[in-house]
Amino acid sequence: DGGITQSPKYLFRKEGQNVTLSCEQNLNHDAMYWYRQDPGQGLRLIYYSQIVNDFQKGDIAEGYSVSREKKESFPLTVTSAQKNPTAFYLCASSSHRGSGQPQHFGDGTRLSIL
Amino acid sequence: AQTVTQSQPEMSVQEAETVTLSCTYDTSENNYYLFWYKQPPSRQMILVIRQEAYKQQNATENRFSVNFQKAAKSFSLKISDSQLGDTAMYFCALVSYSGGGADGLTFGKGTHLIIQP
């Protein structure tokens, strides 16, 4: 089955530590996205990538970094500069820039501070 | 900057009733799409319905339909014959296209819909 796989499902971060959230898709989608969801809130865009080796900052990129070395993969690193990382993180992908195709979402990663 | 506003934090209706969730938005782009996503307690994001801004006809998907008022920048979701499985958070979302690329979805804060038996 085609889909988006996020791992791990739960992640704990220690003070001063960088952690990386994995996102892999086998839908052959060009675009990939990372969103953050806080309790009682909608999703906010962190980073997105339309093609391999290119990505853009979203609304809340500070304290996060990404890479897009392969079409299928778009890992997100939560750096120690992100002072409030506790949230639910969702990865998404979509096909064909400019066509309004809906984004497909993974099952999410819940990140907490130890 | 574009914005999406959902003014109803929570709604509760009886099973089989019809319910309408409100959404207003703002964007300076002419080329955009609107979506309603459902997030059940499992926290999966599930697409409910999609509307192209250039289409005047309102989108429908089985029991789900929208009332798209472009001039008023309003995009409400109507759920007919509501079912217990419709209980979830519902998010209105907007994506605009400038320069040929999509900039990611802008979401409202959501409406928690509870269907009572």
pLDDT-based confidence at residue B81 (cuts at 50, 70, 90): very high
Cβ distance A45 to B109 less than 8 Å, yes or no, reads no
**How many Å lie between the alpha carbon of A100 and the closest alpha carbon of chain B?**
6
Q: Which of B42, B52, B101 lies closest to A100 in CB terms? A: B52
A56-105 pLDDT, tens digit each = 999 999 999 999 999 999 999 999 888 899 999 999 999 865 577 888 99
The two beta strands, B64-69 and B101-102, are unpaired
Q: Does B61 touch chain A (CB under 8 A)?
A: no
Is residue A90 within 8 Å of residue B94, measured between CB atoms? no
Per-residue pLDDT, B13: 97
Cα–Cα distances (Å) from B76 to A13, B92, B108, B114, in that order, read 39, 9, 12, 17
pLDDT-based confidence at residue B99 (cuts at 50, 70, 90): low
What average pLDDT does the segment A44-64 reach? 94
Give the SS3 label for residue A1: coil
A100 Cβ neighbours under 8 A, 6+ residues apart: B33, B50, B52, B95, B97, B102
Which residues of A are less than 8 Å from B52 in CB distance?
100
Cβ distance A42 to B110 less than 8 Å, yes or no, reads yes
B18-28 pLDDT, tens digit each = 999 999 999 98
Cβ distance A98 to B102 less than 8 Å, yes or no, reads yes
